[in-house]
Amino acid sequence: MNVTPDNKILVQGISEEQGSIYAARMKSYGTNIVAGTSAGHGGQLLHGIPVFDLVEQAIVEVGAIDTSIIFVPAYQVLDAALEAIASGIRQIILITGGIPPLDMVKVLRKAEATKTLVLGSSSSGIIVPGKILLGTHESKFYTPGNIGIIGRTGTLTYEVAWELTQATLGQSVAVSIGSDPIVGSSVVEWLQILAADKNTKAIVLVNHIGVPCEETAAKYIVEELDKPVVAYLAGRKSQKKLIGHANAISLRHREMMFASQRDGLASELTPEERQIAAFKQAKIPIADSPSQIPDLVKKALKK
């Protein structure tokens, strides 16, 4: 992922309520938003940003674009994403949630064929504190530093960032990979990105209990990553009650359906138990609450 203050950013769906609000916030933060698109609104200026009907029209005027942030309604995301990819944009952030699963599959197939990185859907985007905001992160919770955060949802990521900020542990980058059942780039991909980031000294993983990915992530951390990692799994103390994000609940049920088909000990464990077991086996500290994360990070950095 190429994220620098010099990146040229496009907002697709800039005339949508969310698109307009967050385009203004991103621009105010210093993000280099060079254009927006919204069918039927071409030729207008919104927050000083030129608006075009089509992505290709924007590129003719402003040149190559690094990243598109998509705010269009769910049923329009497929067309918007394919339009961006066809125009040579290789980094796409899907803020919109609830995208039809088949549409997401089509987007991701095209992205794979063109080596396009997709973040989301239902993502809060990326923030490099003090430098660039790409999405809907609440910037007031963040401060520049060297702790990377990878989260499934935005609100939990904000809370963790605020706990770190209060403990004078600034953040190098925070990324929300999205909370929908089908998302683009994975936790492991972002672990790889942060592993190569010289500004990141430690990483915090933030997830809901019952959402799959930890087993693969833990394996990568043990075998490949030389930076300390701390995890927080929301709902860990719920005593197996179904709480939290609706998509986390959906994913948990799906995992339980297939659990009986797995071989070995894993088939006898619930999704929650597999998540926790994977981290413990990898000797990754697991915080009981967001407030515990700063102390665990400080201990991990000392090691």
Structural class in CATH, domain 9-119: alpha beta
Average pLDDT estimate for 157-176: 97
- Do the domains spanning 9-119 and 138-302 agree at the CATH topology level? yes
Task: Please give the full DSSP string across 124-187, using - where no structure is assigned.
Answer: -EEEETTTEEEES--GGG--EEEEEEEESSHHHHHHHHHHHHHTT--EEEEEE--SSSS-SS-H
Its pTM stands at 0.89
pLDDT over 80 (residue 252) = no
Whether 245 sits among the annotated catalytic residues: the reply is yes
pLDDT-derived band at 215 (thresholds 50, 70, 90) equals confident
Asked if 207 and 214 touch (Cβ cutoff 8 Å), the reply is yes
Asked if 90 and 59 touch (Cβ cutoff 8 Å), the reply is no
pLDDT-derived band at 258 (thresholds 50, 70, 90) equals very low
- Active-site residue, selected from the candidate residues 41, 208, 245, 253: 245
* Predicted confidence (pLDDT) per residue in 72-127, tens digit: 999 999 999 999 999 999 999 999 999 999 999 999 999 999 999 999 999 999 99
CATH assignment, 138-302: 3.40.50.261
The span from the CA of 261 to the CA of 282, in Å, is 24
Q: Where are the domains of the chain?
A: 9-119, 138-302
